[in-house]
Amino acid sequence: MAKKDFEMTWKDITVGCIIHEPGSAAQYKTGDWRSQVPVWDKAKCVKCGRCFGFCPEPCIVQDEEGYYEADLYWCKGCGICAHECPKGAITIEQEEK
Amino acid sequence: MSKRVGTEASFAIADAAILADVDVVAAYPITPQTHIVEHLSEVVADGELNAEFICVESEHSAMSACLGSAAAGARTFTATAGQGLELMHEVLYIASSMRLPIVMAVSNRALSGPLNVWGDHSDVMATRDCGWIQYFTENAQEVFDLSLCAFKIAEDPNVLFPVMVHMDGFNVSHVVEPLEMLEKDDIGDFIPPMNFPHPLDPNKPVTMGAFAPPVLYTECRKSQEEALRPSKQTIIKVWNEFGERFGRQYKPVETYKTEDADTLLIAIGSFTETATVAVDTLRAKGEKVGLVRMRLWRPFPFDELRDAVKDAEKLIVFDRCISYGGPGGPLCSEIKSALYGSKEQKPVVNFIGGLGGRDITPEQFEQMFSRGREIIDNNLDIQYETIGVRE
């Protein structure tokens, strides 16, 4: 997008509010919604990928060692990963901003 | 060559859709609109019209299917009435905000309750602000002509808005009338092929119907409004072209014997034809009375209305709908809004009647004329009166 949302005037709105650029939803920073954040305990994690599979965003990715972590640009802090983790390796903690 | 035929207005609308070579009809039957889509489903089933007829389970689904069809670039038609229009309600706003050129005929019907299938304007007026182009027709010929025009208007690249063509349920929809039916050869290139600029296409993906947070919603609404208002120019252009080609001229606001008139009756829909009889009778008695027939409802023709009433002293507006707890009839409040702040303030009185299929006779228009003048001349503080109600 050439302009940020807050810079767009009504004249910049396309006919029918159509978005012509595919995949633009990825630009939306849903991480803004978050008040809590998931924290992984690598000692308990068995790299099963259940958190990755259940994340509704989906924003959980694997690091170089194969452990999982949330991309905080999109993570809403919903806690589903922590709820689904069979090893209790994920805790949801209040995020300090 | 056009031929003179006798047909029911509902069939005339269906014939207009056939002549426009619609690609998709998604509709649910409801009185008094059923004959329109019944006829269309027949011609599709008989192979006379190469189109998809989608039988849906409700009007909400009908309009939703129309959204998809128009978004894919197909010429799309549907029809409804009364409760059906209300069941479509939330989807109507989506059609206009997505700028989908759907054409819909509405056989205007009263709303429940009590249950009533007959004509009035309660259904139309509840959808007044849904962002569609809306205009009224008064007889089968107008229904046919203006349904044809609706496709050309809706799909014009300068417009791209859905269009509602209104006709009074039963009083127009079910009446068999003579009309000049145009044929394929007559139409020629009057309605160019549908060319929706951004159709759904897997090879060129776009997002339609995305959400807009507070930071964008106001801009989206403003852009829609700024597009709808000037569509009036295209509507007039298309009606003028129709007039030049086929000899029948339509205008946003039409007048009858308004020259030198000091009092004007103003109405919308088929009862305007009844009012012309009253105007003739009153004129014969020496009264300087005329009639203003509103045709275009959205975008509202402010300039044309002001021009039509500029020389009159007294205005008497007839509505077929009540705005409960409001200022009276929706047509009258719109006219008052249009005139508020103009240099010469004119007294405007409002009558409401013809509800739920109740007839209004020429004599009752004469009554509105005399009672309306009485209210104005005696400066009576009356918001509106109901015509024909048993007290």
Q: What is the CATH number of the domain that holds B355?
A: 3.40.50.920
CATH number at residue B103: 3.40.50.970
What is residue B24's predicted lDDT score, i.e. its pLDDT?
Answer: 98
For A8, which of B99, B198, B219 is closest by C-beta distance?
Answer: B219
What is residue A4's predicted lDDT score, i.e. its pLDDT?
Answer: 84
**Given CB atoms, is B229 within the 8 Å cutoff of chain A?**
no
Q: What percent of chain A has pLDDT over 70?
A: 97
What is residue B191's predicted lDDT score, i.e. its pLDDT?
Answer: 97
Cis peptide before B301 (omega within 30 of 0): no
CB contact under 8 A, A17 and B98: yes
Walk along chain B (391 residues) in steps of 10 and give the mean pLDDT of each run: 91 97 97 97 97 98 98 98 98 98 98 97 97 98 98 98 98 96 93 94 92 94 98 98 97 97 98 98 98 98 96 97 94 95 88 97 98 97 95 93
Of A45, A25, A58, A56, nearest to A85 by C-alpha is A45
Of B126, B127, B81, nearest to B108 by C-alpha is B81
- Is the same domain home to B350 and B201? no
- Is the same domain home to B320 and B179? no
CB contact under 8 A, A18 and B205: no
Q: Is residue B226 one of the residues assigned to a domain?
A: yes
Q: Is residue A12 one of the residues assigned to a domain?
A: no
**Given CB atoms, is B226 within the 8 Å cutoff of chain A?**
yes
Q: CA neighbours within 13 Å on the CB side: how many for B49? A: 25
Q: Is residue A78 one of the residues assigned to a domain?
A: yes
What is residue B298's predicted lDDT score, i.e. its pLDDT?
Answer: 98
**For residue B194, what is the DSSP state?**
P
What is residue A97's predicted lDDT score, i.e. its pLDDT?
Answer: 64
**φ, ψ of residue B230 in degrees (nearest 5):** -70, -5
When pLDDT is cut at 50, 70 and 90, the band that residue A2 belongs to is low
Q: How many CB atoms lie within 10 A of CB A78?
A: 17
Cβ atoms of B339 and B345 within 8 Å: the answer is yes
- Locate the chain B residue with the closest alpha carbon to A15: B99
Residue B97 C-alpha, separation from nearest chain A C-alpha, in angstroms: 6
- Is the same domain home to B55 and B190? yes
The domain tally of chain B equals 2
The domain tally of chain A equals 1
Domain span at residue B374 reads: 253-386
Q: How many CB pairs under 8 A join A and B?
A: 56
At residue A91, what is the residue type?
T
pLDDT digits (tens, 9 = 90+) for A29-73: 999 999 999 999 999 999 999 999 999 999 999 999 999 999 999
CB contact under 8 A, A15 and B205: no
**Given CB atoms, is B355 within the 8 Å cutoff of chain A?**
no
Q: Looking at the predicted structure, is the pLDDT value of residue A1 above 60?
A: no
- Is the same domain home to B178 and B310? no
- For an interface test with B, the pick among A6, A11, A13 (most B C-beta atoms closer than 10 Å) comes out as A13
CA B250 to chain centre: 13
CB contact under 8 A, B206 and A5: no
Cβ atoms of B136 and B167 within 8 Å: the answer is yes
- Is the same domain home to B236 and B168? yes
Q: Is residue A79 one of the residues assigned to a domain?
A: yes
- Is the same domain home to B147 and B262? no
- One-character DSSP codes across B29-95: --TTTHHHHHHHHHHHHTTSS--EEEE-SSHHHHHHHHHHHHHTT--EEEEE-HHHHHHTHHHHHHH
Domain span at residue A58 reads: 27-94
Residue A4 C-alpha, separation from nearest chain B C-alpha, in angstroms: 10
What is residue B83's predicted lDDT score, i.e. its pLDDT?
Answer: 98
The residues pairing with B103 across neighbouring beta strands, listed in sequence order, are B77, B163
- Is the same domain home to B101 and B212? yes
Q: Is residue A88 one of the residues assigned to a domain?
A: yes
Residue B154 C-alpha, separation from nearest chain A C-alpha, in angstroms: 13
Contact residues on chain A for B215, CB-CB shorter than 8 A? 5-6
Contact residues on chain B for A8, CB-CB shorter than 8 A? 216, 219
Contact residues on chain A for B213, CB-CB shorter than 8 A? 5
Prediction ipTM score: 0.89
- Locate the chain B residue with the closest alpha carbon to A6: B215
What is residue B97's predicted lDDT score, i.e. its pLDDT?
Answer: 97
